Amino acid sequence: MKRLILPAALLMALAAMSRAPETPCGADLYEDLVGQQWSDKLLPERDAPVRVLRPGSVATMDHRPARLNIHLDDEGRVSQLRCG
């Protein structure tokens, strides 16, 4: 029985290392939006969700790595792009 513990532990460690990392939201692909005045026409076409956050808006704290969060400043310009 003791002989099976080490090989089983090694297999579990290898399985954990072989998992693919979570897919990022691709915020870097949309960096050209930063500084632009926001309109729905700027909304990127993507399969993953997009959330637009205005100053003072309420947002849930659930983390979705594939979701693109578009943060706007007080003038309605895109100030930041984040995953989550």
Interatomic CA distance for residues 66 and 56, integer angstroms: 23
Residue ranges making up the domain that contains 42? 23-83
pLDDT tens per residue, range 48-72: 899 999 999 998 889 999 999 999 9
pTM of the model: 0.69
What is the total count of domains within the chain? 1
> Is residue 10 one of the residues assigned to a domain?
no
* CATH at 72: 3.30.10.10
| Residues of the chain with confidence (pLDDT) below 70 | 1-23
| Cβ contact 35:72 at 8 Å | no
In a domain, 17, yes or no: no
Q: Residue 42 domain-assigned?
A: yes
Across 16-26, b (16+ Cβ under 10 Å) vs e yields eeeeeeeeebe
Q: Does residue 74 belong to any structural domain of this protein?
A: yes
The pLDDT of residue 20 is 40
